[in-house]
Every structure is written in C-alpha cells, then in structure tokens.
Amino acid sequence: MTPPEPRRRSASAHLAILEATWEEVVEKGYAGLTVEGIAARAGVGKQTVYRWWPSKAAVLLEALNARTAQTSDFPDTGDIAADLAGQITGVAEFLASDGGVVFKALLAGAQSDPELAEDIRRQVIEPRTQACADRLAKAQAAGELRADVDPVDIVELVYAPLYYRLILGTRPISAPDMRHQLDRVLAGLRA
Amino acid sequence: MTPPEPRRRSASAHLAILEATWEEVVEKGYAGLTVEGIAARAGVGKQTVYRWWPSKAAVLLEALNARTAQTSDFPDTGDIAADLAGQITGVAEFLASDGGVVFKALLAGAQSDPELAEDIRRQVIEPRTQACADRLAKAQAAGELRADVDPVDIVELVYAPLYYRLILGTRPISAPDMRHQLDRVLAGLRA
DNA sequence: CATCTTACGAGACGGTCCGGTTCGTCTCTA
DNA sequence: TAGAGACGAACCGGACCGTCTCGTAAGATG
C-alpha cells in the first residue's frame, strides 16, 4: 500500500507530515482532518501524502505509533501491584494529554472504517494487552493473584475505567484516581 | 433550539425521521450519516429536518432516547449483586444489538462536537449513573458493600468493561461474560 | 564530476457530496 | 373562507477528494 521503494524518500517531509497530522487532529478532531489540511500545514504537496499512505487514517495511525513506540514493554519487579500501578500511571498521563485526544479521534474514525478498527487492534491494543497478560500470568504462577481468572479478563478489568473516562468524559483522567480504581480491582483478585 | 411551536407539527414526519435516522446510522455509521440521507429515507424534505433540529447529532440523540426512555429506573430487591446482574444483562443485550452501533456512532460524533458530548452526558449517562449510584449507596448502608468507596467509582468499575469492549471491539459483548466481570469487581467490594 | 532518475512543492482539474436556502403547494386553524 | 405556516422538492455554493501536470532539486549511478 506504499508502492514506491523508499530509497530517496524525504525524511523531513515524512516527519513533517506526521507532526502536522498530530497537530491538525488535536485542533480539529478526526472529522476535521483532511489530506489537504495536513499537506498545507506540513508545507508539502498533496501528492506526497498520497504517494506514501493509502488514507488519512493510515497517516494518523502512524503518527500515533511514532509517539508510543517505545512504551510497549512491561516491567517485572516481582510485585504485580507496583508494576501495574506504574504502567497505568504512564498510560493515564498519556491519555490525559493530547495523546488522549488523538487516540479518541482514531477510535471515532474506526467506527465507520472496519479496516482502521482492525489495524488499531492489531498494532496498538493487542501487543500491549498481550504484554500485560503475560506479566499477569507470571503473577498468577507466583501465587500473587487468583489463578482461576483469564489474564485477558484481568487486563480488561484493569484498563477499562481508563477508557470509560476517556470516551464518556464523565470525569477527567487522573493518575491517582486510576490507581485507586486499580487497587479496588486487585482487591478481588488476590490469591 | 426547536424554534417553532409544534402546534401543527406532522407526527408522521417526526416519527419517520427518527426511524430513518436510526436505520441510516446502523447501515453507514456516524460519518456516513447525512441530513440528505435521513430526509430521503424518511420521504421528507430536508427543510423539515432543519426546522425541528439544529443538527444531525440532535436527531440521532433523540432517536436513541426514543428507544431507551423506559429503562432508566433501577430495581431494588435487597440483593445488590442480583440487581446489578440483572441490570448489566439488559444493558449488555442492548449494546450487543443495533443499540450498540448507534451509541458508538453517537460517541464518535461527540468527539468533534463538545456540545453533543455534553448532551449525551446529561441526557443519557448521568441519569443512569445516578440511579445506579443511589442503589449502591443503599447497599452500602445495608452493609452489603464496603462503605469507603464512592458509589460513582463503583458504577465506573461495574460498567467500564462493557464500554471497553464496545469501543475497542476486542471481544464481542456477551451478557454472561459481563456478569463474570461483575462478579470479580464485587469480590473486592464486599463489606 | 557529469548525468540521469525520481521524489518533491505547488497548484489546477473534474467530480462528488452535503449544508443551508428558496419555492410553490397543501393542510390546518381561526 | 382566508391566511399562516409546515410540507416535499429542487437549487446553489462551497469544501474536499483523488489525479494530474508542471518545473525544480536532491540523490543515485558510473
């Protein structure tokens, strides 16, 4: 879907497009995001966008991934409660900032674009879910947590309140709040 | 926001518009929802839509409310676990059907429309949250649940997994699954 | 170093789609 | 019976998409 071989691809244009996309979507939301707007803000011809990406959704997904690439590994100090607390703090801080706006925009776009929805799941959700589930399975094996609950279900319980607030906007996302909710979830899951 | 007094408003056109809106959004999602499409499917002029609603979002919100108006009261049998299980089963079944598609579309639209987001919170989320929180407070007073957790936080814990699946689409919403998750949440909240 | 290749920025184009208004008709009220 | 106003239909203007065509400049090739 990115036909030419990127031998002489302009790195500066590439970066400028990702940056411009991020800013545009923060300002105008997914509905207001347009290839023309991206190109104009990046100081780039439209063709340069169309040459390398099949759709504005693909650009936005790459822009998000570019900012979260390094945060996929999961810590293991032997204390599952501390590890989860640390991880959820990081995610909460990310989603409470512009990252939340962009991620929410992406989810909104995915609602009428099944292909984008699938890409988000594969590239963003599943790797992190799997990493967290693996860590949880170790905690179960170590006797820290009940072993009769599917780790994937635990991931859901732990992160769901975060997305609840992100999407419904009932209350702002705050790291301390999310840690409290985590404590209550863990209270029912200890061995 | 619905300027004329509705003395001679056509009841059939009103209903046809709500019905057409529901079907359109199920088929095409929020992004594909257009006043033209609504009017065409309802067999109505566009002006008839613009006369009574300020935006397509308002139409959609009313269409959703028209289908969920009666389900806002919360049961009280004296057994909080049973009451929550019954309630969450109903919501899960609703969100697993077309209702979920429409609600998701509405949330997607709210992402680039703060006014719509606020309306959804006021008209849809808050009344139900409040009803549930009231019931939970009674359960705390009766000694069924820990009293040191804000009932609104409990509502969040209980319903969050439902919205998690709705939005992320990781796994389908099923009533038995959601009841299992509810059990795990309650395990950490008993007095 | 000279040449060739190809992405680049800029912008024009046909086309589609949709929001908002205008128009003439018809119905209901007074 | 007269008039107000809601109705369905059709029209217009603007925005953006996706493609294309330039002249230019940067990188690849030998």
Average pLDDT, chain B: 94
Asked if the model's pLDDT at residue A88 lies above 90, the reply is: yes
User: Residue B8's pLDDT is what?
Assistant: 76
Residue A115 CB neighbour total at 10 angstroms: 12
- Best probe of the A interface among B33, B111, B122, B190, by most A CBs < 10 A, is B111
For the beta carbon of residue B111, count every other beta carbon within 10 angstroms: 23
pTM for this model (two decimals): 0.94
Q: Could you tell me which of B52, B69, B51 has the C-alpha nearest to residue B123?
A: B69
Which residues of the protein have their beta carbon within 7 Å of strand D?
A: A 7-8, 32-37, 45-47, 50, 55-56; B 4-5, 7-10, 13-14, 43-48, 51-52
Terminal C-alpha separation, chain B? 48
Measure the CA dihedral A160/A161/A163/A169, to 10°.
Answer: 150
Nearest partner of B33 among B104, B115, B94, judged by Cα: B104
Any atom of strand C under 7 A from CB of B35?
yes
With beta carbons less than 8 A apart as the criterion, state whether A187 and A179 touch. Answer: no
Q: In 10 A of CB B118, how many CB atoms?
A: 12
Residues of chain B with C-beta less than 8 angstroms from the C-beta of A169 = 110, 117, 121
pLDDT for res B99:
97
Q: pLDDT tens digit string along B74-131? A: 899 999 999 999 999 999 999 999 999 999 999 999 998 999 999 999 999 999 999 9
> How many residues comprise chain A?
191
Domains along the sequence of chain A with CATH = 6-59 (1.10.10.60), 61-189 (1.10.357.10)
- pLDDT at residue A162 greater than cutoff 80: yes
Secondary structure element (H or E) that encloses residue B105, with its range: helix B98-110
Per the CB < 8 A criterion, the answer to whether B145 and B156 are in contact is no
Q: Quick one: average pLDDT of B17-39?
A: 95
